[in-house]
Structure 1
Amino acid sequence: MTITLDSRAATRTKIGIRDVSRVFDSPDGGPPFVAMDGVTLDVREGEFLTLVGPSGCGKSTLLEMIAGLTSPSSGEIVIDGTPVTGPGLDRGIVFQQYALFPWRTALSNIEFGLQAKAVPRRERAELARHYLDLVGLSGFERRYPHELSGGMRQRVAIARSLAFDPDVLLMDEPFAALDAQTRESLQEELLTIWEKTGKTVVFITHGIDEALYLGQRVAVMSSRPGRILTTVETPFGSREGDLRADPTFGEYRHHLWTLLRPETAGPGSGLLRVVTHDG
């Protein structure tokens, strides 16, 4: 079998991560804690890139730096050639925890980001309903988060991030807390949304199956301090049918596991999910 390693013809870079490191001071006065070291990665415009690695390798920290929620200790992150210096409405973020306002209805939660852009009230409501429909929740406009299932709450969170039309969608293990059936259903819906909107998506996961199923490319991170081991192009033009049963899918999964297995044995490297069906 031949595995393709990042050989697709070059397209415009949307996000440029240039020799980024992140170091944290030790709370007890000990040596500094190096979370990631020398990460360099380009994310192409309009691509769905998944980032997989062991727990604790710095995946979420890297996403937070792209979002502008924290800054690199060294190196630089640029979007469309402009350095990231803080949060911006060009980036939407979906976290593992739903982070919905419990006192707002589903519709009102989605409208929140639109208020920040000073979108008029009637247009806000129309856009919010459009994105509720896009994530399959028409008819749930007046429901509060506690009246929705976990999968439905995550749909609302995705709709809220899409509603203010960001160029980039950043997703930090958004399906990790869901049961296997709901997770696979939302993976399919997310790909449909991506195909419809053409957003640039960076999706963090520590599940190899999820990374392969969703990503046009899979970026593989080492254990702490996190570095990019390689990027792998996925060969799956269509996700129709039971892709996970395809022999090629199994071959790529085995290849990624071969890369990552030594990393899971390192100190503090945590666990890595090889298959999604059993979580």
Structure 2
Amino acid sequence: MSTPVKLSLSGVRKEFRVRGERESFTALEDVTVDVRDGEFLVLVGPSGSGKSTLLDLLGGLERPSGGQLLLDGAPITGPGLDRGIVFQQYALLPWRTARGNIEFGLEAKGVKRRERRRLADDYLDLVGLGGFGDRYPHELSGGMKQRVAIARSLAFDPEVLLMDEPFAALDAQTRESLQDELLRIWEATRKTILFITHGIDEAVYLGQRVAVLTSRPGRVKAVVDIDLDRHTAADIRSSEPFRELRHHIWSLLHDEVERAQTLEQAALAATDRRSSHG
């Protein structure tokens, strides 16, 4: 029996009005992809491909100009507790402890105080921060803050976890450690995860499938199945299958980066011409 679709994007377009310009700016065009229930899907694309715009649409922070976004078959019309979001910046409340930050979403759900504390401690344990519940954000490292942010998003039991380059600001060693931690958490919870990154290695390491976006306006150029045995004792990042997948995705992206640079140069040339005639 096929796995049901949890998140469905169909023909999604997003345009923005540019102040002082007659024409609108198109960030996304005809984005179509399904995310299966319990799947870990990674979106990777060049700078300016609309990755973060897409996450804003999925989070209900923006409305699409066309197409539709469905969660469990129902249109996404605004923010909701059925989606947890983890941003690149930790967005923790500095006046709350780690436990207090995790309890924040539970308060919005109306969970009673004793149950909030139990759940917060459970999720602190899940992300490897048992015993750190009374620490304030300024007393935690970058990696620990991001663990708290993940725990906070998971604690109110969302249908989907949306992650916007959550490890980009971390050093390489911490980033790899948290990638392992996130895979462990995903295997334990089987949450549906949509993870956005510009890192090819990160995409291949984490995703069951990787959706490659084109340069602006962003479209889904290809969806690549990632068939890797992540439980092998060897360093999977050094394996031949990993290198082959990485090269395949790099090739798909390389063409888009070159196209984006060509379009950017043409736009700059056009601006210069207008300036000289003005």
TM-score, L = length of structure 2:
0.92
Aligned with residue 94 of structure 2, among 76, 95, 102: 102
User: Matched residues in 2 for 1:71 and 1:40: separation?
Assistant: 16
The answer for the alignment partner of 1:21 in structure 2 is 13
Tell me which residue corresponds to 1:177.
169
Letter in 1 for 2:38: G
Give me the CA root mean square deviation. Answer: 1.4
The correspondence of residues 49-68 of structure 1 with structure 2, limited to 5 A, is 49-68=41-60
Structure 1 runs of 4+ aligned residues shifted over 6 Å read none
Shift of 1:93: 0.3
Instruction: Tell me the alpha carbon deviations over residues 135-166 of structure 1, each in whole angstroms, 9 at most, x when there is no partner.
Output: 11111111110110000000000000000011
Structure 2 residue identity aligned to 1:95: F
2:198 and 2:120 mapped to 1: Cα distance? 31
Match of 1:32 among 24, 31, 41: 24
Matches within 5 A, 1:97-246: 97-240=89-232, 241-246=234-239
Q: What is the CA-CA distance between 1:255 and the residue it aligns to?
A: 0.6
| Structure number having the greater helix percentage | 2
Query: Aligned-pair distance for 1:239?
Result: 4.3
Shift of 1:10: 4.3
Tell me the residue number matched to 1:71: 63
TM-score normalised over the length of structure 1: 0.91
Q: Tell me the equivalent position of 1:252.
A: 245
Q: Specify the code of the residue in structure 2 equivalent to 1:187.
A: Q
| 3-state SS in 2 of match to 1:267 | helix
CA contact (8 A) 1:36 1:225 kept: yes
The CA deviation at 1:237 is 3.4
Q: Which residue identity does 2:194 align to in structure 1?
A: V
| In 1: Cα distance, 2:147 partner to 2:197 partner | 18
- What is the rounded CA distance, in whole Å, between the counterparts of 1:29 and 1:234 in structure 2? 42
Unpaired stretches in structure 1, ≥5 consecutive residues: 1-8, 271-279
Match of 1:91 in 2: 83
In structure 2, the residue matched to 1:265 is 258
Mark the runs of 5 or more structure 2 residues left unpaired by the alignment: 265-278
Distance in 2 (CA, whole Å) between partners of 1:239 and 1:89 is 33
Aligned residues of 1:24 and 1:32 also touching (Cα < 8 A): yes
Return the index of the structure with the highest Cα Rg.
2
Query: Deviations along 1:148-186, whole A, 9 cap, x unmatched?
Result: 000000000000000001110000000000000000000
The answer to whether the 8 Å contact 1:213/1:239 transfers is: no
Query: Which piece of structure 1 moves more, 231-240 or 80-89?
Result: 231-240
> 1:39, 1:239 → 2: CA distance?
33
CA distance in 2, matches of 1:51, 1:145: 29
Give the secondary-structure state (helix, strand or coil) at the position aligned to 1:86: coil
Instruction: Tell me the amino acid that sits aligned with residue 244 of structure 1.
Output: R
Q: Which is bigger in relative contact order (C-alpha 8 A, separation at least 6)?
A: 1
Instruction: Give yes or no for contact 1:39–1:226 (8 Å, CA) kept in 2.
Output: yes
